[in-house]
Amino acid sequence: MPIIDHFKPPGFATDLTPENQTQWSNFLSTNYFERSKKGSSDENDGPRKQFFDPTVDEVDSLPKEEIITWSAFPRQVAVSSTGDLQRWKKADSTRAVQDEYCEWSVHRDTNGRILWIDFTSEGPEYWKVMAQLQPETVVELYRKHIAIDIDQHDLFPAGQYEPLNRWNNSTSNGAMHLIQGANTLGAEIELAGGATIVRRRNGELVSNEQDLILCSGYGAPKRHSDPHIGAEINGLAREGRLITLADPVGLFIQGCDFSGFTLPTHNVTAAQCWHIVRGTQERPLRVRFAPPDGENFTVSDVQVDGKAIAFGGQIADKISIALAGWATPSTNHLSITDGCRKVSASPLAAVAAAAPAGALATRR
């Protein structure tokens, strides 16, 4: 029997009716897991024999959960900047550079003081499916988490959900879910599948993080996320395990390292400013950083590493994003592929061709 009947919504979200949850599960399984298991044999990148769909495939032993974490701050911004101030400014300037599966929006008062910062790790696909099945729920959630008076036509111009609507397309007007082109659940599933291919080159198994991602072509080498996720998964694959993504599939905000936070009052801790507003304690999807209700200081009065918070990026530095994988204890499934992936078309074209309609950008 497969391990689970169906995938639950990301973060154990309870937005969808039971019937629609099944639809969500079928969507994931058919559109992403099936494709990711297949890969591309033409490109020496499939089938991915050590990657399985837990709603469809049977495995010989119950898998164990493995959590893989990485820093939320966009590494590519960090390495291309001259220092902290510049990189925080860059990262806060546009969602387009927030490519580590975490995006944020900074809400300020008329004096420029930060009142709250919202961080999200919710994949766009879930919202698109929800918009098709329960559009009224989407409107409710936007009104609850972004602004109470949002006009539904802002979200559904011409009757169809627009992920890049004005309440979700900037770093200052709200961030409901991920919109950066590479921050998708589809990319996550494809990355996981691609990373399960154990590659041998010149008689040696490839194991170095950068070598792996360049050889297998499953993501952007210079991010925190892709190389690290790929290396961890490939490490399990080299042990001969069967691997998949744990249920519920999705990214989550694993936590924030509060070492270095200083508050203007001893009565409140940084942890008390960390409000999980969607998801669960184990799988936070959306977090707001703001003083607790009733306190008369702002986020701008909080210091991180001795500096007053002026950018969401200063907190992103301290946030870990995660995904959960499942790996079987059994280790007799090793399948080795000789050589690297051969990309026949441009990488973008190759993955776009494999993606379901209406979506879904690659992480390349």
Partner 1 sequence: MPDSFPTRQYPYQREAPNVLRTAEPLAVLAPDTLHRFIVGEDDIKAPPGAPPLPVPLDSVTLQSLNDPFARLLRSKKPHPLTARSLVSALDMDKSMQRLSFVIGEGLQIPFTPDTADLARQLRVAVVWRSDNELSVLLSTAPPFDDQTIFLQVIGLDAQANLFNFYERRMGVWSWAGNSRHALSAPTRGKGPFDSHVNGALVMKELKLPWPHWSSEAAFELPGLDAKAPVLQEELIAQRTGAQELEPLVRTGIRRWTRARVTDALAGDTIVDVPALLRHLLSATTVNLVCSVQESEVRPPGDRLPIPITPFLDANLLLDELALPVDMDGLTAPWQHYKNMLVTQGYELRDQTGRLAKRGDIHFAFPAFERSNEDLAVVSELIEQGVLSTRLAACLAMVDFPNPVWSQRREALLRHVPTSIKRGIQGWDLATPILASITASPTSMDPTSPEAEFLKLWEIETGWEDTFGRRIKDYLNALQNRLNDANGFNDIGRLVESQRRRARKRPLLEFSLTLPRATKLDHTNWRMTTTATIERS
The residue ranges that bind partner 1 (CB under 8 A) are 69-71, 75, 78-86, 207-211, 214, 221-222, 224, 228, 231-232, 235, 257-261, 270, 305-306, 318
Q: What are phi and psi of 332, to 5 degrees?
A: -110, 30
Beta-bridged to residue 65, according to DSSP, are 326
Q: Which is nearer to partner 1, 107 or 318 (CB)?
A: 318
Minimum CB–partner distance for residue 292 and partner 1 (Å): 18
Interatomic CA distance for residues 169 and 165, integer angstroms: 6
Minimum CB–partner distance for residue 7 and partner 1 (Å): 27
Minimum CB–partner distance for residue 331 and partner 1 (Å): 13
Eight-state DSSP code of residue 51: B
Minimum CB–partner distance for residue 120 and partner 1 (Å): 21
Interatomic CA distance for residues 228 and 210, integer angstroms: 9
Terminal CA-to-CA distance of the chain, rounded, Å?
35
Minimum CB–partner distance for residue 81 and partner 1 (Å): 6
Q: Which is nearer to partner 1, 135 or 260 (CB)?
A: 260
**Residue 135 token pair:** 């559009």
Interatomic CA distance for residues 86 and 77, integer angstroms: 9
Contact 114, 310 (CB under 8 A): yes
Q: Which is nearer to partner 1, 7 or 274 (CB)?
A: 274
Q: Which is nearer to partner 1, 188 or 232 (CB)?
A: 232
Q: Which is nearer to partner 1, 175 or 316 (CB)?
A: 316
Residue 7 has, within 13 A of its CA and on its CB side, a CA count of 24
**Residue 57 token pair:** 């495939």
Interatomic CA distance for residues 130 and 108, integer angstroms: 30
Interatomic CA distance for residues 291 and 287, integer angstroms: 13
Q: Which is nearer to partner 1, 213 or 285 (CB)?
A: 213
Helices 135-145 & 124-133, crossing angle to 10 degrees? Answer: 130
Minimum CB–partner distance for residue 325 and partner 1 (Å): 15
Minimum CB–partner distance for residue 320 and partner 1 (Å): 8
Q: Which is nearer to partner 1, 221 or 264 (CB)?
A: 221
Interatomic CA distance for residues 245 and 251, integer angstroms: 10
Contact 287, 30 (CB under 8 A): no
Interatomic CA distance for residues 11 and 157, integer angstroms: 28
Interatomic CA distance for residues 236 and 215, integer angstroms: 17
Is the bond leading into 47 cis (omega within 30 degrees of zero)? yes
Q: Which is nearer to partner 1, 139 or 215 (CB)?
A: 215
Minimum CB–partner distance for residue 313 and partner 1 (Å): 13
